């Protein structure tokens, strides 16, 4: 019995850090693969995004055509078209619409199975969501951008850092959106039915995230308040402003940094809420 003790076997022989990284990677991969099976829904959703892209793009271009300088809220027409079409693509990558998976598992009691796994639920769901977003980047982001580029003049980046900064901004946006969705879903630990909070999230994220109109069209004080006071502009407006090069290089970088702060704060808050919830969770079912 030499060398054996009563400690629990670790799954990963290479040490805890490498183990958790490879577990995280495997979960990302499975999140990706899961969405590759929803092929028809992906096509249907992309078609809908493209129709909305046409409507929003034409309306914003008409606004630009009738302003004196042709630059409403500081965007020229190419920047507006970029804003709309990249937005229609990112919409499903950051999953601006409802996500009720966790809330549903809490309501039915299935969440008990998540708690038994050796990975904290927050990390497991984050990994799966990053995999989903990666799949979305390929299937949901590219087609609307291609259609937009064919039908409208889009803005090509003029600075070398715009593309890497945009990709980083999208990654952070997914994390921010995930943090918000996780918190909204976690209300089900206390409320049992999170439909109300999810409904408010969908409503608020669409308008205050910058999907309906660029937030820069609002009075300055309101736009700044929203940016600093809520995570919502960090979900869609920031990556789009980065891609459209709406601001100078300094402000561009600062907006992404602000996004990063929101991502860290939301994940920390979600972890705290999860710990609190686990202490009081009574699994439903019989």
Partner 1 sequence: MGELRAYAALAGAQARSVFSYRSSFVIELVGNVGATVFDVLTVLVLFRATDRIGGFTLPEALLMAGITSAGFALADFVVGNVDRLKTYVRAGTLDAVLVRPLAALPQLLLMDLPIRKLVRVVFGFGVLAVAIGLNDPDWTPARVSLIVLAPLSCAVFMGSIFVISASLAFWWVDSGELGSAFTYGGKDFASYPITVYGPAFRGLFAYALGFAFISYQPALALLGRADPLGLPSWAGFAAPVAAFAVAAVAAGVWRTGIRHYRSTGS
Among 19, 29, 45, 157, binds partner 1 (CB under 8 A): 45
Among 31, 72, 231, 233, binds partner 1 (CB under 8 A): 72
Among 58, 114, 120, 273, binds partner 1 (CB under 8 A): 58
CA Rg value for the chain: 21
Q: Which stretch binds partner 1 (CB under 8 A): 45-53, 118-126, 159-167, 269-277?
A: 45-53
- How buried is residue 7: exposed, middle or buried, by Cβ count under 10 Å (0-12/13-18/19+)? exposed
Residues whose CB is less than 8 angstroms from the CB of residue 153 and which lie 6 or more positions away in sequence, other chains included: 77, 78, 81
Among residue numbers 180 through 199, which ones bind partner 1 (CB under 8 A)?
193, 195-196, 199
Among residue numbers 205 through 234, which ones bind partner 1 (CB under 8 A)?
206-207, 212-213, 217-218
Q: Give the relative orientation of helices 237-244 and 249-280 as an angle to the nearest 10 degrees.
A: 160
Whether 183 contacts 99, CB under 8 Å: no
Residues whose CB is less than 8 angstroms from the CB of residue 257 and which lie 6 or more positions away in sequence, other chains included: none
Nearer CB in complex with partner 1: 45/260: 45
Nearer CB in complex with partner 1: 24/213: 213
Residues whose CB is less than 8 angstroms from the CB of residue 6 and which lie 6 or more positions away in sequence, other chains included: none
Nearer CB in complex with partner 1: 107/121: 107
Nearer CB in complex with partner 1: 59/228: 59
Angle (CA) 257 98 254, round 5°:
10
Among 11, 21, 26, 55, binds partner 1 (CB under 8 A): 55
Q: Which stretch binds partner 1 (CB under 8 A): 39-47, 102-110, 125-133, 181-189?
A: 39-47
Q: Which stretch binds partner 1 (CB under 8 A): 137-145, 170-178, 201-209, 245-253?
A: 201-209
| CA distance linking residue 87 with residue 55, whole number of Å | 13
40 near partner 1, rule: CB under 8 A: yes
Q: What is the distance, to the nearest Å, from the Cα of residue 89 to the centroid of all Cα atoms in its chain? A: 12
Among 38, 117, 156, 224, binds partner 1 (CB under 8 A): 38
44 near partner 1, rule: CB under 8 A: yes
Residue 21 CB, nearest approach to partner 1 (Å): 34
How many helices (DSSP H) and strands (DSSP E) are in the chain?
A: 13, 0
């Amino acid at each position: 019995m030499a060398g054996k003790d009563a400690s629990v076997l670790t799954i990963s022989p290479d040490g805890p850090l490498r183990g958790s990284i490879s577990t995280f990677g495997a979960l990302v991969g499975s999140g990706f693969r899961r969405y590759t099976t929803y092929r028809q829904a992906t096509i249907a959703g992309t078609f809908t995004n493209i129709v909305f892209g046409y409507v929003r793009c034409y309306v914003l271009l008409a606004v630009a055509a009738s302003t004196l300088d042709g630059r409403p809220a500081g965007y020229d027409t190419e920047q507006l078209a970029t804003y709309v079409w990249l937005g229609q693509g990112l919409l499903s990558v950051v999953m601006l619409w409802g996500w009720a998976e966790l809330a549903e598992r809490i309501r039915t009691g299935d969440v008990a199975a998540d708690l038994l796994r050796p990975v904290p639920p927050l990390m497991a769901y984050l990994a799966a969501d990053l995999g989903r977003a990666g799949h979305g980047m390929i299937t949901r982001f590219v087609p609307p951008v291609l259609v937009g580029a064919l039908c409208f003049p889009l803005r090509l980046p003029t600075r070398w850092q715009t593309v890497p900064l945009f990709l980083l901004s999208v990654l952070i946006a997914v994390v921010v959106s995930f943090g918000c969705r996780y918190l909204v879903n976690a209300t089900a630990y206390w409320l049992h039915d999170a439909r109300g909070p999810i409904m408010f999230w969908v409503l608020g994220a669409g308008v205050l995230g910058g999907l309906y109109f660029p937030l820069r069209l609002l009075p300055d004080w309101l736009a700044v308040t929203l940016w600093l006071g809520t995570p919502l502009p960090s979900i869609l407006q920031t990556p789009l402003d980065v891609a459209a090069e709406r601001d100078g290089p300094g402000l561009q970088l600062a907006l992404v940094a602000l996004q990063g702060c929101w991502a860290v704060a939301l994940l920390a808050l979600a972890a705290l809420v999860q710990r609190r919830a686990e202490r009081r969770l009574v699994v439903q079912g019989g």
